[in-house]
């Protein structure tokens, strides 16, 4: 049984979610549109990206590749139908940031240096249960 494909809007929103510091704001959609326009060589509006983010529009492969490049992400993340493993890596990165983990050393018992999807899911769940996960304390 194969997993349900990740909607394109979810993947695009994940790129915005991962592209900022803990407690910071997501990148401005108009600024991202400007960067994508430069990479693509044609005008892309912030409104176009907003409709991609809310799932009410679609885009051609070149625009999606330029958007992925803007976020320093492999184009396949937006072009493939179901890039589950890379999405797990992004979710893991977000969970580490939001848990305010300063240092993380990972070792696996199986293949050296390669965490399985199941291991990543467990670690994400663990990170999300930490007392400060998901909340940002601006008073240090």
Q: What is the value of pTM for the model shown?
A: 0.79
- Model confidence over 21-56: pLDDT tens digits? 888 899 999 999 999 999 999 999 999 999 999 999
- Neighbouring residues of 89: CB distance < 8 A, sequence distance ≥ 6: 120
- Split at pLDDT 50, 70, 90, the class of 5 is confident
Instruction: Report how far residue 75's alpha carbon sits from residue 136's, in angstroms, rounded to the nearest whole number.
Output: 31
Higher pLDDT: 95 or 117? It is 95
Of 3.30.300.20, 3.40.1360.10, 1.10.260.40, 3.40.50.720, the CATH number of 7-80 is: 1.10.260.40
Residue-wise pLDDT for 75-107, tens only, equals 999 999 888 889 999 998 999 898 888 776 666
Q: What is the pLDDT of residues 119-135, one digit of tens each?
A: 888 888 888 888 764 44
pLDDT at residue 126, rounded to an integer? 86
Cα–Cα dist 95/70, whole Å = 22
């Amino acid at each position: 049984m194969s997993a349900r494909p990740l909607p394109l809007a979810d993947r695009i929103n994940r790129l915005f979610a991962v592209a900022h510091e803990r407690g910071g704001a997501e990148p401005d959609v108009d600024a991202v549109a400007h960067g994508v326009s430069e990479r693509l060589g044609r005008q892309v509006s912030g409104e176009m990206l907003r409709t991609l983010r809310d799932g009410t529009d679609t885009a051609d492969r070149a625009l999606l590749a330029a958007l992925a490049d803007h976020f320093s992400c492999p184009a396949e993340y937006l072009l493939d139908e179901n890039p589950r493993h890379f999405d797990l890596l992004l979710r893991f990165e977000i969970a580490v940031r939001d848990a305010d983990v300063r240092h993380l050393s990972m070792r696996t018992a199986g293949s050296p240096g390669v965490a399985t999807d199941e291991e990543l899911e467990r670690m994400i769940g663990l990170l999300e249960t930490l007392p400060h996960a998901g909340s940002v304390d601006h008073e240090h």
